Structure 1
Amino acid sequence: MRTTPAGLRSWFRSHPLFGDSLLAVVLTTCSLAMIVLMGPEGVARLQAALHVEIRPPDALNLILAALCTLPVALRRRWPFMLLALTTVPEWALDSLSYHTGLSEIAGLILLYTVAAHRGLALSLAGLAVTMVGYAVGTGLSPLPLAWPDHAVIIVIIMLCWVSGRAIRLRRAYLAELVQRADRLERAREADTRAARAEERSRIARELHDVVAHHVSVMTVQAAAARKMLDSDPGVTRDALTAIEEMGRTAMAEMRNIVGVLRTDGPAERGPQPGMADLQTLVEQMREAGLRIRLRVEGDRCALPPGIDLAAYRLVQEALTNSLRHAGPAAGAWVTVRYEPDRLTVHVEDDGRGAAADPARPDGKGHGLVGIRERVALYGGVLRIGPRSGGGFEVRAQFPLTHSPRTHSPRTHSPLGGGPLKETA
């Protein structure tokens, strides 16, 4: 199995101690080789060229030089402490007039490590230690250095420190980018979950409205067909035809609503019903046996799609409740008022209401909860409760100048006063 250069670099990053130890061994070997290969003859030539006395290499020289370079193996673990400790053998080499080998290179590596892996305060302290160590070593060393030489050395020290700081800042910047990407990903997932929950809630409301309305009408038609089966086959045939048409309509609407769940890309929803289809809805309810009067006030105008659907579903649910709970002799009135800044929908009946229905003694259902959510979504005002003079009413106002909102609806209504009541 061949190892690629990228895989080798990744392995070295995951095993920093191995790479640092290898660097320390190579640096120490080269430093000691420079000292040993110089020999007495090389020392004599260096003394003649610099006019200073330099001691020939011995065991102490090699030990002190090794103490300056071997600590590089642990540079990532204790960089500042090793930087401070290695100044002692460096001063010893200078004061004893020994050849220093590559001890200065080791000091620069430790300074770079402090700047690249520690905070600003500790990196400045490391820079100060290096400058102080260089100043003391210059005073102890027998080698004469001119001011340009000092300037070059100081520039090299500063370059090492600045390079380490730049690497640290770049590493921190990349880490911040990774964290920001993680936060954005988590936020995107949370938004996706919220959107899915909202879509499930929307589909649940739509399915409830469609199923409750059509099944209620089909139930009434089936009951009429059963009663007239023997006495009037023609009426029975018409009732069964109405049941068939209603069932197909319900299936088409449910297929349109649930179809959004089967799309991988953006949902391609078919046209939803709206206030323009209100007359058709009234005719269906009349065929089911509910006496309805429809009155439209004001000039019709194009409604926002959400409000258009919400108002239609509100009328549909209210008429369905009237059909189920108002009684066989009840009548209903639907009033739609178009105004420049709002849409008012008022549905009322003169029947017995849900309180007298033994099948639903609590007077609450999912349909009315759906109405409340729809009206609240668009910042509307809703009143649901008994009608003055008997019966039941549902009254809502939709503002036409506000965008949808998601907080809870108002708890008091200016239309009828008092808290909102959710009774079927």
Structure 2
Amino acid sequence: MRTTLDGPRSRLRAPLIADSIIAVVLTAGSLVVIGATSPRIPVRLPDAAAVRAPDALNLVLAALCTLPVALRRRWPFVMLAATAIPAWALVALGYDSGLGIAGVLILLYSVAAHRGLALSLAALVTALATSAVSASVRPGPVSWADHVVVFVVTLLCWVCGRAIRLRRAYLAELVQRAHRLERAREADTRAARAEERSRIARELHDVVAHHVSVMTVQAAAARRMLDSDPEVTRDALTAIEEMGRTAMAEMRDIVGVLRTDDPAELRPQPGMQDIPALVEQMREAGLRAQLRIGGERRGLPPGIDLAAYRLVQEALTNSLRHAGPAARAWVTVRHEPAELTVHIEDDGRGDADGALTVKGKGHGLVGIRERVALYGGILHIGPRTGGGFEVRARFPLKDRP
């Protein structure tokens, strides 16, 4: 056997038990009031309706005016309409209604607190009519002030119910809004994580591809000159060692972003001021590269500064790997007030070995496209007029003064 109630069922039964207790207490009080205040024989008071002595029918009708309170949360309007019938019967038969008006007010509050505006207005009209009729048969004269009091109390119960409903709806909206904001924050967090992973992947690819390519070329040169020219071999091995250390340092800085929240612990990222050193490094690796810088040099936004440097690095790396041993490369950087133009070209065989495509579907060229698009730039990658390959990018600087 089950000894405990399910959670939802227990939550539904708890209000029903409480409302049933209220209904029983209210009914008992109503019957006591009827027995204590009603005359034993029919009388007619001055300026008042005739009041009959209480009997079994009077008690049953009075109980029917208060017992529906037990179902006020489930069917509030139906119960309110149900109380109107015995209330009007009490008036028609000349009986005292006891505390029947209290049951009407409780049901009116329940309709206003748990149902819509149209139904609550209908309940208000029903309650006003029932309360006014019930008040008119109380012993003693009934003045206009009594009707005003009944009207004000009835309207106050309705207003309180509507206020509770509006407050409940407002709190529910706040909860829903908090849930929506939480979901939006989680979505933004996931998007930021995905963007950060993509950024780190681009950085790692650029660093590894560039330095490994240079190290591969230097190792090939050292292998060819190992027997004939040991001095050249020694220089190539020294360059490989320095290149490996540089690659490890840059990768350590990139991965360090994931391990620390203090950017001061990390070295600054490379930028356009490091382009001359990069070109010189490619010359040492065997690529005959030249650098031309035009326009007035100005400070660049950090993101564009890094993106332009990585673009030059990736393009020169591709030239070193695919252009051929006798190829030449030119790097042209032009600073203008509204944009930064970077142009890298070579006169080698391009993608004759099938390692590079004009559409740029390799990881390096995809990374270049993502970097340029991130800052609203325009990128062109393709064969160069007269042979070779070129990469041209324009970064807008509209936010600069």
Pick aligned residue for 2:204 from 204, 207, 226: 207
Alignment check: 8 A CA contact 1:221 1:240 kept: yes
What's the TM-score once normalised by structure 2's chain length? 0.90
Partner of 1:292: 289
Pick aligned residue for 2:150 from 149, 153, 161: 153
Tell me the CA shift for residue 215 of structure 1.
0.6
Q: 1:386 to 1:12 in 2, by over 3 A?
A: closer
Identical columns (%): 73
Tell me the CA shift for residue 305 of structure 1.
0.8
Cα distance in 1 for partners of 2:48, 2:323 equals: 120
Partner of 2:31: 32
Alignment of 1:45-64 (within 5 A): 53-64=50-61
Cα distance in 2 for partners of 1:150, 1:29 equals: 26
Partner of 2:127: 130
Alignment of 1:66-85 (within 5 A): 66-85=63-82
Matched, 1:177 2:174: yes
Partner of 2:6: none
Cα distance in 2 for partners of 1:14, 1:337 equals: 79
Matched, 1:357 2:387: no
**Equivalent residue letter for 1:28:** T
Alignment check: 8 A CA contact 1:69 1:106 kept: yes
Q: What's the CA shift string for 1:295-338, capped at 9, x where partnerless? A: 11111111111111111011000000000000011111111111
Partner of 1:166: 163
Cα distance in 2 for partners of 1:258, 1:113 equals: 63
Tell me the CA shift for residue 270 of structure 1.
3.7
Helix, strand or coil at the partner of 1:100 = coil
Partner of 1:21: 20
Helix, strand or coil at the partner of 1:261 = coil
Cα distance in 1 for partners of 2:47, 2:125 equals: 30
Alignment of 1:23-422 (within 5 A): 23-38=22-37, 53-137=50-134, 143-263=140-260, 270-354=267-351, 356-359=352-355, 364-402=361-399
Tell me which stretches of 4 or more aligned residues in structure 1 moved more than 6 Å.
11-14, 44-52, 264-268
Alignment check: 8 A CA contact 1:274 1:308 kept: yes
Cα distance in 2 for partners of 1:231, 1:59 equals: 129
Q: What's the CA shift string for 1:328-358, capped at 9, x where partnerless? A: 111111111111111111111111001x114
Range 15-24 or range 271-280, more displaced = 15-24
**Equivalent residue letter for 1:34:** V
**Equivalent residue letter for 1:257:** I
Cα distance in 1 for partners of 2:124, 2:136 equals: 19
**Equivalent residue letter for 1:387:** R
Cα distance in 1 for partners of 2:297, 2:131 equals: 90
What stretches of structure 1 of length at least 5 have no aligned partner? 1-10, 404-424
Cα distance in 2 for partners of 1:197, 1:94 equals: 75
What stretches of structure 2 of length at least 5 have no aligned partner? 1-9
Tell me the CA shift for residue 75 of structure 1.
0.7
Partner of 1:416: none
Cα distance in 2 for partners of 1:19, 1:279 equals: 84
**Equivalent residue letter for 2:32:** A
Cα distance in 1 for partners of 2:266, 2:117 equals: 58
- How many residues in Structure 1 have an aligned counterpart in Structure 2? 390
Cα distance in 2 for partners of 1:192, 1:306 equals: 21
Partner of 1:3: none
Tell me the CA shift for residue 360 of structure 1.
5.0
Tell me the CA shift for residue 290 of structure 1.
0.8
Alignment check: 8 A CA contact 2:83 2:104 kept: yes
